Structure 1
Amino acid sequence: MTGGKNWYGLPVEDVSAHISDYAQCLVSGFLVWTLTDPSIRPLLKTGVKRASDLVERSPFSHVSYKELEDVSRGGVAERFLDAAAAAHSLRRMFTTRSGKVGIGSNDVRMGDPVFVAYGADVPFIIRKGDGGYLLIGECYVRDFMGGEAVTELDKHGKGLAEVSSTFV
């Protein structure tokens, strides 16, 4: 949700505090929709009971609600919300066919491929255009930011394909 950045747009230095801030959002009833299927519209308001139920059924189901409360201690929900708002300024969330969640340009469209260039620090969104490709912009995809895309290629599948392209 924040692209690994704080509200200044700089990389998060204290990951534990960042996670506590996010957990505080969940315990407070903010961002509970992030625990649901991405195709479901955000829940506007929810109670602690709803948050507890979603935690139990989410991808984080190995974490109990009590553990989430423990992690949230010392967290500041507003700090995480500010970082998320900064990360989404003129940007939007998207989901890849393989289920990976990312943040990219407001111009991203369904069907735009995520392109990981060897040696680049970030992945890119491109779109096939007349006679070539259009660079839509850089993006953040959590599972692609540390070289995981190249590792996934070795596993064959997962919606990844190695291609060679010349950009002019």
Structure 2
Amino acid sequence: MSFPAGFFITGTDTEVGKTLVSGAFILKIRAQGGKAVGFKPVVAGTYKDAKGVVVNEDLETLRIASHLNPGQMELCPYVLNMPAAPHLVAAAIGQEMEMEMEMEMEMEMEMEMEMEMEMDRIMQCTSQNTDSKRCCSGRRGPGVFNSAKQDSGLG
């Protein structure tokens, strides 16, 4: 099955379901054989989990939907502790948020996913004793989500 190159999930307020919808998309894409990983440019509001680790509810939702272990991949360049509008929290603590950093992190995630997909493809080819020249010639690249990244399945 082929998937769109990417999705950008947006909403006009907090708590309207952006992360919930993103998580559902990620789960559906993965259930249909695609690769998908969540990404959120900034979050505000953290808490300590049972182990004392500082986490954010939205990032936990995206991490779990993306089938990632804690700390396996950075999903957000700006994690702000205070639960309020991110631009207000950033201003209050003197944190500048730069689009370049967000884009760099997104590109790093895309490269990491591409490497993972290539390794999966090579492992599948070698486990099937497929001709290595044919096996290694058909690279596929990931599509980009703002809230999630996924393998478009387009060869």
TM range (shorter): under 0.3
TM-score when scaled to structure 2? Answer: 0.25
TM-score when scaled to structure 1? Answer: 0.24
